[in-house]
Structure 1
Amino acid sequence: MNDDTRAMVDFLRKRYRSSVETHESIFAGFTDGRIGAELGGTPEARTDFARRSLHEAESVLELFETTIVAHLGTAGPMGAIAEQQLRILARPFL
């Protein structure tokens, strides 16, 4: 993996992990009542929304790691596709 590719992986991994941590914190805040009452709706609806948001963030990180990072630097079409996907994901930040 070249330096540019490694930098993109490190940057995106940090962003995705940060998103998971943020959603974990929000979910915890909803479930223990520290946040949410001012948002309206039922506690169950707020907690369900936070749970789904957390699962979405976890899924994005897992997808990134298993379908892109795992194939970077490999020969053949999978490596080329992984490199292209990485660049597409990083493009908004370049």
Structure 2
Amino acid sequence: MKVLIIEDEPHNARTLSEIIVQVKPGSIILEILESIEQAVRFLSNQNNTPDLIFADIQLADGLSFEISSKIKIKCPIIFALHTTNIPYRHSKPMA
């Protein structure tokens, strides 16, 4: 499974990519992008076709919902909101 992550917090992006690979071994993280502009540019390239997109809702340059109004997206998007003051601990996946 090819996954695109759109997240402007580096720690959250790393954590999410680690979880994805734990839960779905063999997954390929195509790219970690930090903005709407980067996502639109990446997805405009026909060679960049993810099977799934994880997107943080609030990015520095707007809401990630705006991406689909700028370009046609041909895969599912999971909009994620992560807010906690509890540090992530590696644990066995619940798959």
* More helix per residue: 1
* More strand per residue: 2
What TM-score comes out, normalization by structure 1 length? 0.27
